């Protein structure tokens, strides 16, 4: 009994210490954001980029990024590998700082395209408007490239109602801040948790649109290849496309020089089907990985190479189980 009581006290103390640590980190982060907010936006974003390029190589995750880059680009020299990693840290820092200025960054005006920070090519404008005007469900997917948070902001600006699936930070205090920022600019959000797929299915069933990030490791997911290496991927998008037989659009944000951004929506995927004519979930999941790889190869410094994308956790699902 005494041992159980001692263990309980230790567990309670550990929880309190973790909560205190989260609170302290959140306070420091929010104080830093408040200071950045006092600076002109371009100065703040450029400063945080330079700082991250100095600090990033010192953190443990930099070793993961370098290892991933060497395996993804075996023909590149070490200087090129480290340059991509440096660009990545600058991009990730900018992404964090841009939350502060999100309401000021998105300045796209359909009546005056090309005059602001946000660039949307004419064909992508037409697709935004097409999706917004269609009274049926759609799925849009993207990856952690550039400032991917600008895509749902753009969707809302074009009158497109999108419920975006997101993974909240582990720190509950930062999660609350980020969630409030996102909701004020991006429309509906659905936390990535147990039951999230049912919530997204409900949105599609009512004729709505959903947005999904597809480039993270998914424990016990469908086996796919990414940069020629085996990884586990979430089959939920393919499962939803199979259930509702709806269009699936690739969308991405490309970071441009001078703190500018280009937002693109590509033509909908041609979804592979099985012998019975139903959407092939495993094949769709691989196509998502292929599209993401194409995007990353075009702008490698804008993707989060420190993510343990290729770490296998538990057995992967077979094609038959996935569908």
CB 251 within 8 A of CB 162: no
Given this model, what pLDDT does residue 111 score? 73
Q: How far apart are CA 72 and CA 67, in angstroms?
A: 9
Q: What are 312's two structure tokens?
A: 């296998």
The Cβ-side half-sphere exposure at 288, using a 13 Å CA radius, reads 32
Q: pLDDT tens digits, residue range 272-299?
A: 999 999 999 999 999 999 999 999 999 9
The label of the residue with tokens 């509702």 reads 244
Q: pLDDT tens digits, residue range 38-85?
A: 889 999 999 999 999 999 999 999 999 999 999 999 999 999 999 999
Q: How far apart are CA 104 and CA 102, in angstroms?
A: 5
> 3-state DSSP call for residue 66?
helix
- Phi, psi of 118, deg, nearest 5: -95, 125
The label of the residue with tokens 């759609």 reads 138
Q: Facing residues of 261 across strands?
A: 118, 255
Q: pLDDT tens digits, residue range 220-237?
A: 889 999 999 999 999 999
- Phi, psi of 209, deg, nearest 5: -120, 145
**pTM to 2 decimal places:** 0.86
Residue 158 has pLDDT above 80, yes or no: yes
Q: How far apart are CA 116 and CA 107, in angstroms?
A: 6
Q: What are 137's two structure tokens?
A: 């469900």
């Amino acid at each position: 009994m005494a041992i159980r009581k001692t263990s309980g006290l230790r567990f309670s103390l550990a929880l309190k210490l973790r909560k205190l640590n989260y609170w302290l980190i959140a306070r420091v982060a929010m104080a830093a954001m408040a200071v950045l907010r006092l600076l002109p936006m371009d100065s703040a974003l450029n400063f945080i980029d330079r700082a991250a390029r100095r600090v990033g190589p010192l953190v443990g995750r930099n070793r993961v990024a370098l290892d991933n880059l060497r395996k993804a680009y075996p023909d590149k020299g070490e200087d090129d590998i480290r340059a991509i990693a440096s660009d990545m840290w600058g991009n990730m820092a900018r992404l964090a700082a841009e939350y502060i200025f999100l309401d000021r960054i998105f300045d796209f005006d359909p009546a005056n395209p090309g005059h602001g920070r946000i660039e949307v090519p004419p064909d992508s404008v037409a697709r935004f408007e097409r999706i917004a005007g269609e009274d049926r469900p759609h799925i849009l997917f993207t990856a952690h490239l550039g400032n991917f948070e600008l895509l749902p902001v753009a969707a809302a600006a074009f009158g497109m109602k999108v419920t975006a699936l997101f993974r909240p930070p582990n720190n509950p205090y930062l999660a609350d801040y980020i969630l409030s920022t996102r909701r004020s600019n991006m429309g509906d959000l659905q936390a990535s948790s147990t039951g999230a797929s049912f919530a997204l299915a409900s949105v599609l069933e009512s004729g709505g649109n959903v947005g999904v990030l597809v480039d993270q490791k998914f424990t016990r997911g469908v086996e796919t290849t990414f940069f020629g290496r085996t990884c586990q991927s979430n089959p939920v998008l393919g499962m939803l496309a199979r259930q509702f037989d709806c269009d699936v659009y690739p969308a991405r944000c490309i970071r441009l020089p001078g703190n500018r951004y280009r937002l693109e929506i590509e033509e909908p995927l041609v979804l592979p089907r099985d012998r019975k004519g139903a959407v092939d979930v495993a094949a769709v999941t691989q196509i998502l990985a292929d599209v993401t790889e194409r995007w990353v190869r075009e702008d490698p410094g804008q993707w989060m190479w420190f993510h343990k994308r290729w770490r296998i956790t538990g057995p992967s699902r077979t094609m038959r189980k996935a569908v």
